[in-house]
Amino acid sequence: MMPITPDKIKALCFDLGNTLIEFGPRQVTYQYEALVNTLTELFGYCDASRLKAIRDRQIVAPFSNGYKENDLRSLCEELIRGIYDIVPEQRQVDRLIRTRYESFVHVVELPDGVMALLNKLRRYRLGLLSNYPCSQSVRDSLAKIRLSEMFEVVVISGDIGYVKPHAKPFESMLSQLDLSPSECVYIGDNWLADVQG
């Protein structure tokens, strides 16, 4: 690998969650509550501790499975089966997928200073590379907070089939930018996904 020198940098690529937007306890709690409400509406009482245990396992699953991204439909089916011990109907799974989508888009907010920072960095080509199984949630969130217009390329693990730190998401970003790794700096918050990748 060639060393990175400042004069050769042509692009800056960012992670989304906890890099450009906050996705911490408040956002996670909102999403959990939305899932609990939908599951309760569809099936009755939802054991929130069971939901949390299944979701926690799902979140880390790609990191012990060759970095393969989770399939959103399978995730929702697993939640329903794991909490209620039933085989869900298609419409029930679709409803839970919709809840995940809506709760993600709703909770994403643009922090102060991010737009100004990205505008200052316009001399570089800008990209976004994020791990999330539902790419539409990310894309619609970016549009909602007017960040999509800031990025030349947006790569989401749900579209690629692999999560960072697997090479495929990074290779997709570089390919779409038509740049070499030495011409691009990636900025993220997670040692495993963002730095080791």
Is the CB of residue 101 less than 8 Å from the CB of residue 192?
no
Round to whole Å and give the CA distance between 61 and 63: 5
Q: What is the pLDDT of residue 4?
A: 65
Q: What is the pLDDT of residue 146?
A: 96
Q: What is the pLDDT of residue 6?
A: 74
Q: What is the pLDDT of residue 189?
A: 86
Q: What angle do CA 15, 130, 138 make, to 5 degrees?
A: 115
DSSP per position, 87-107: ---HHHHHHHHHHHHHHHHHH
pLDDT tens-place values along the chain, 197 residues long: 556 677 899 999 999 999 999 998 999 999 999 999 999 999 999 999 999 999 999 999 998 989 999 999 999 999 999 999 999 999 999 999 999 999 999 999 999 999 999 999 999 999 999 999 999 999 999 999 999 999 999 999 999 999 999 999 999 999 999 999 999 999 988 666 556 65
Spell out the long-range contacts of 48-52 with Cβ–Cβ below 8 A and sequence spacing 24 or more.
Answer: 50/82, 50/83, 51/79, 51/83
CA 3 to chain centre: 29
The residues, ordered by sequence, that sit 6+ positions from 173 with a Cβ below 8 Å of its Cβ are 13, 127, 129, 153, 155, 184
Round to whole Å and give the CA distance between 185 and 155: 15
Q: What is the pLDDT of residue 7?
A: 84
* Rg of the chain taking only CA atoms, in angstroms: 18
